[in-house]
Amino acid sequence: MVERPRYQRRGARLNLPRFEDAASQAAARGAANTGQALGRMTQFFLQQTQQQAQVKGEEYGALHAPTREQLQDAMERGDDIDLPGGNLTVADRAARKAALAITSDNLQHLAQTAITEKVLKAYETNQDPTDLADDIDAVITGYVDILETNAPTLGLNFRAKMGMYANREYESYAKSLLKTSTSTNKISVTKMLLDEQKNISDGGMF
């Protein structure tokens, strides 16, 4: 009788995941997905809150920025100006930024008006160019001084913008004075014009 071959079982066993393991993994994935969804919701609501705070801050800053009359009074008295807002919160920063923008526009309007008045008066009286340059510089400095405490950066930008405007007005006046001057006076006026232009390029005047 032929003997049948015997087969031996291999040592490896097929390990099927237990129900408890599958349930735990599913629960972990669900918790992770829920956490991510909550994180996205939190980020969304945070962004919405910040945007609302920024809008409210901008509105507040625009409404409470110094008026032209207040800026003019502060310049004449030599006082600082109070600007709304600050650096603590989103709303504070937005209010300060909006107030600075409006204040800059108002100051520019006031300064240009004052400089124009000085120049027109100089045309009427044939004012000495050096004296006109001093008057214009006094106007700019007066408005810059009220920004020193609360808005020094705005003061620097304002002086630069007004310096360019003042230089054009002054140069126009000095050139017109040259046309109407006698030959003797032309030499003196030309020298004054060159001196003032040198002061401007050196950062001294305007």
Amino acid at 14: L
83-92, 104-113, 143-152, 188-197 — which is least confidently predicted? 188-197
Chain centroid to CA 67: how far? 19
Given pLDDT bands bounded at 50, 70 and 90, which one contains residue 154? confident
- For tokens 């910040």, the residue is 50
Dist. CA 26–CA 29, nearest whole Å = 5
36-92 residue pLDDT tens: 767 777 776 677 787 898 889 999 999 999 999 999 998 888 888 888 988 889 999
Dist. CA 138–CA 123, nearest whole Å = 18
Please report which residue ranges of 65-89 form alpha helices under DSSP H. Answer: 68-77
Residues above pLDDT 90, as percent of the chain: 33
Average pLDDT of the segment spanning 150-165: 88
Nearest Cα to 101, choosing from 138, 44, 58, 133? 58
What is the reported pLDDT for 11? Answer: 52
What is the reported pLDDT for 87? Answer: 87
Does the predicted TM-score (pTM) go above 0.85? Answer: no
Dist. CA 104–CA 98, nearest whole Å = 10
Contact 80, 103 (CB under 8 A): no
Contact 151, 74 (CB under 8 A): no
183-203 residue pLDDT tens: 455 555 666 666 655 565 454
